Amino acid sequence: MQKTPEELHASLSRAISVILVSWNSELHLTGCLQALAVQKFQDFEIVMLDNGSTNGLNIDLPKNCAILEKLDANLGFAVANNIGARLARGEWLVLLNADAYPEPDWLENLLRAAEQNPEYNFFSSRQIQYHNPHLLDGAGDEYHVSGLAWRRFYNYTADQYGLAPQEVFGACAAAAMYRREDFLKAGGFDEDYFSYFEDVDLSFRLRLAGGRCLYVPDAVVRHVGSASAGKLSDFVIYHGHRNLVWTFIKNMPGPLVWIYLPLHLLMNLFFMISFTFRGKGSAILRAKRDALLKIADVLRKRKSTQSLRTTSARSLHQWMKTGLLDPYWASRQRKREGRHDR
């Protein structure tokens, strides 16, 4: 029997910590806080971290901002959210980008999904493009056996796709909810990543440990995307393409890593050539060089990650995209609007 909003609030009250990380994003953060202020579900705390912003943080903080942590430097998305997770007191961690504006029933619908689906331990929101509200920004994350990942249904028509709840590979951390216990047990985000692909890596590790992710279509946010780093900047290319190598090597189960390693290498070679011809050779070559320079550390992490695996390679494989042309079609869909950020 479905609970009323009042019953839902009573059962999950004070179990929620919304983690907001800001870096020179004061303009977006104001709108984000305003959207949180009008949530139907209000019994939550906000854990805010200023990631060494150079322009300060001159905004009025809401009363339910329980913790404000000002970091001395920009330590990256991964480190800042891990700090927030350790400081948080809620059973559930709700990660929200400063440039993501939730609809009034967003938090309530995430909580309802958790209440009704206890077999899932992390949840993905329905993301709408802020500047093109007729298009989806994502409906959960997809992972390809080559090591690429993308947001499901990105740039698809919002009123035709992503309308039904379903299990997905993982959640985009721009607007996602994780059971705190599982987040911390998995080690949180890999802090060596700094930014980009850290949510894909976490989704992979949670799945290896038996976790499941549910896409919640009525938990809606409007997402600007790459508001701090810029779309297809050297920063995005470097971190995204370095980190996808680490994610593949660290997480792909033994039987699968040997099957798909040739495809992974070909994919990396393709992007090295492609970005070089597009004037981004320095960023992509540095990404691959630095990925290899730390491969010994990644292999040590792999040993730890695989030791916690409870999911079979066969079971995990069914949640991956395997079509050779799947990355092409995903890339083609992205380019229709000239967007390249993950």
- Domain assignments of the chain as residue spans, ordered by start: 5-223, 234-335
CA–CA dist 60, 35 (Å, integer): 14
Would you state the pLDDT for residue 65? 72
Q: Which amino acid is at 244?
A: L
Alpha carbon distances (Å) from 245 to 12, 23, 77, 149, 193: 39, 26, 18, 11, 11
Name every residue whose Cβ is closer than 8 Å to that of residue 173 and which is 6 or more positions away in sequence: 77, 81, 95, 97, 189, 198, 199, 202
Would you state the pLDDT for residue 325? 86
Give the CB-side neighbour count of residue 223, counting CA atoms within 13 A: 26
Q: Are strands 100-102 and 136-138 parallel, antiparallel or unpaired?
A: unpaired
Would you state the pLDDT for residue 14? 57
- Stated length of the chain: 342
Q: Which two tokens stand for residue 38?
A: 């009008």
Give the CB-side neighbour count of residue 197, counting CA atoms within 13 A: 22
What CATH number belongs to 5-223?
A: 3.90.550.10
Would you state the pLDDT for residue 127? 98
Q: Is the dihedral of CA 161, 163, 165, 170 positive or negative?
A: positive
- Going by C-alpha positions, the residue among 253, 260, 259, 258 that lies closest to residue 312 is 253
Per-residue pLDDT of the chain (342 residues; tens, 9 = 90+): 455 545 544 444 458 999 999 887 777 888 999 999 999 998 899 998 988 877 766 677 767 776 677 888 888 999 999 999 999 999 999 999 999 999 999 999 999 999 999 999 999 999 999 999 999 999 999 999 999 999 999 999 999 999 999 999 999 999 999 999 999 999 999 999 999 999 999 999 999 999 999 999 999 999 998 644 456 799 999 999 999 999 999 999 999 999 999 999 999 999 999 999 999 999 999 999 999 999 999 999 999 999 999 999 999 999 999 998 888 787 776 666 444 444
Contact between 257 and 317 under an 8 Å Cβ cutoff? The reply is no
3-state secondary structure labels for all residues of 298-326? HHHHHHHHHHCCCCCHHHHHCCCECCCCH
Would you state the pLDDT for residue 228? 46
